[in-house]
Amino acid sequence: MDLVGRNEFVVEEFPASAAIGNVLGNFAVPLGVWGIALLLAGHAVLPGYLSGLKVHGPYLILTSGLLLSLAFRRGRAFFVLLSLTLAYFAFVFVLERENSGVMSQTVYAALCVFVPFNIAIFTLLRERGALNAPGLRRLSLPLIEVGAIAAIVLSDAVEFTDALYRPIFEHASLAGIHVPQLGILVTVAAVVIATVCAVMRGSVIDAAFAAAAASFALACNGLPSPGAFAWFCTIAGMIVAFAVLQDSHRLAFYDELTGLPGRRAVNERLESLDGGFTLAMVDIDHFKAFNDAWGHDVGDQVLKLVAARLQRVGGGGTAYRYGGEEFVILFAGRRGASVMQHLESLRANIDSYKVMLRDSGRQRHPVAGNAKPASPSINKWISVTVSIGVAERQGRAETPEQVIADADKALYRAKSEGRNRVV
């Protein structure tokens, strides 16, 4: 690259309502599962032929979650589920068999601290998978914790166990809580960290980590009732497993850069439509020139700008990213004549929006077409235009592929006639 200095750019992102909707959508499933678990705790009665689920259900759910995480290469979720699985084994083989004594007290306190601690750590780490060298390094954390617990128990370090239970705050409201206060602090920190990361990253897995940390705290606090620990620990694993599925579905059907549904989503939507529809193919004019002149970072920002505008199209249209600089807008059940004004307004709206680019160096190559700076000053303004081709299906006679091809031909005519127009 022969770019001197760097470019900073100011473009419009998605509307605040869309961002809020995405955040709420990320928390919907984890909080929904958690809320149902709270309502059913202590009240759900399994029929006799399903009584085996009380014993084998936790193993089934936790193992399924681990396998899903490996299959979809979600290393952070794998290690959180591994922590929950190790905690459940500790419950079955230690806490459920020995309700008192230094061993049970040490193991219980360690679980209250280590599991939410692991959730906080794996929330902060970036995704790097599990079955690889980084995954093996991360595996050392739960293994070190298991070794630390074993060392404390074998050495009969009563002083260390007593330190874990030592109160940090003296308050009457904390008297009925069984979890050591150190565990409460770590759990609160884990929930806050996971919630903040879920909002900032737009990550459903981070949202699930927050709900899983809260669910595991309920499991530990309900330990005097063995069924409560098994229930809430299993629910924590179920929340993370569901998040892995939800996140993998989103990656398959949604474009990561723009947040719009992707090509697979529009193809499946078209196949599901029985009646007529109108389809618009949208292409950014001179997009290659943006990348050549300003670099791919600016090109990505241009894609996000156009996607944000397409998302606001009227007439009941749904925007999709079709590939590269091409987008699709689908108007299900609408005639072409009824949506042309909305598409024309969309084209004019994008054309009227100027992107300010603060350049601390110089551009790499001259810019063609509309993708050129308005002045040679430090703060440059670049304009973005789109060409739109429109096609309509009035009945079942035409296949979706034919309509896409017709819209693509109309788009080609729009470009050959001078671009920045709807045909």
325 noted as active-site residue = yes
Three-state SS for the chain is CCCECCEEEECCCCCHHHHHHHHHHHHHHHHHHHHHHHHHCCCCCCCHHHCCHHHHHHHHHHHHHHHHHHHCCCHHHHHHHHHHHHHHHHHHHHHCCCCCCHHHHHHHHHHHHHHHHHHHHHHHCCCCCCCCHHHHHHHHHHHHHHHHHHHHHHCCCHHHHHHHHCCCCCCHHHCCCCCCHHHHHHHHHHHHHHHHHHHHHCCHHHHHHHHHHHHHHHHHHCCCCHHHHHHHHHHHHHHHHHHHHHHHHHHHHECCCCCCECHHHHHHHHHHCCCCEEEEEEEECCHHHHHHHHCHHHHHHHHHHHHHHHCCCCCCCEEEEEECCEEEEEEECCCHHHHHHHHHHHHHHHHHCEEEEEECCECCCCCCCCCCCCCCCCEEEEECCEEEEEEEECCCCCCHHHHHHHHHHHHHHHHHCCCCCEC
Candidates 8, 96, 170, 325; catalytic one: 325
- Phi and psi at 410, nearest 5°, equal -65, -35
CA–CA separation, 237 vs 232, rounded Å? 9
Q: How many CB atoms lie within 10 A of CB 145?
A: 19
Structure tokens at 265: 């989503």
Which residues does the annotation mark as catalytic?
Answer: 325
